[in-house]
Amino acid sequence: MPPFKRPISVLVVIHTPALDVLLLERAGHPGYWQSVTGSQEEGETLIETACREVAEETGIIVSPADISDWGISNTFEIFAEWRHRYAPGVTQNVEHVFSLLVPGTQAIRIAPDEHLAYCWRPWRDAAEQCFSWTNREAILQLPEKLAT
C-alpha cells in the first residue's frame, strides 16, 4: 500500500428507480452520512475505483457497465484532520461523480472499519442528510441525470 492516499476520489450515488438513495454513516464521525466514496489507487481507472469502492463499502458486486459516469468532478478542500493521509502540502481533492441504479432497497454489508450504519432515504431527504456539499449536490441532480 502506498504511503499516501491519492487526492483523486470517486463519489457513487447508489439509488433505486423510485429515487431512494443509500447513505452510509461514517465510523470516525457518527452522524456524518454520505454515499459511497473512496480514493483512486495506483493503476486503477476511475470506473474501476467506483466498482471496488461499491463492493468494499456495501457488498454489492458490480461491473463497469453497471456504473454511470456523470462526467462531473468537484474539487474540495481536504478536512485538516485527514490531511496526514496525503503527501505533505496536499490540501485539495478532486472527486469524480458516478451513480449506480439498483432494483430496490436491499440489505447492505457495511465495512465496519469505515461505517456504522446504512439507510435508504428518499432523494430529497438523503441530500439534506449528507454532510458533504458535493454529495448533496450530486443527489439533488439525480432526477435530472436520470431524465437525460
In the chain the domains, ranked by start, together with CATH numbers, are 8-147 (3.90.79.10)
Gap between the terminal Cα atoms of the chain: 39
Residue 49 makes CB contacts below 8 A (sequence gap 6+) with 9, 10, 38, 39, 40, 41
What H or E segment, with its residue span, contains residue 69? strand 67-77
Cα–Cα distance measured from residue 57 to residue 10, given in angstroms and rounded to the nearest whole number: 13
The answer to whether 140 touches 54, Cβ cutoff 8 Å, is no
9 marked among binding-site residues:
no
For residue range 82-129, what is the model confidence (pLDDT) as tens digits? 898 999 999 999 999 999 999 999 999 999 999 999 999 999 999 999
137 marked among binding-site residues:
no
pLDDT of residue 82: 82
52 marked among binding-site residues:
no
For residue range 46-78, what is the model confidence (pLDDT) as tens digits? 999 999 999 999 999 999 999 999 999 999 999
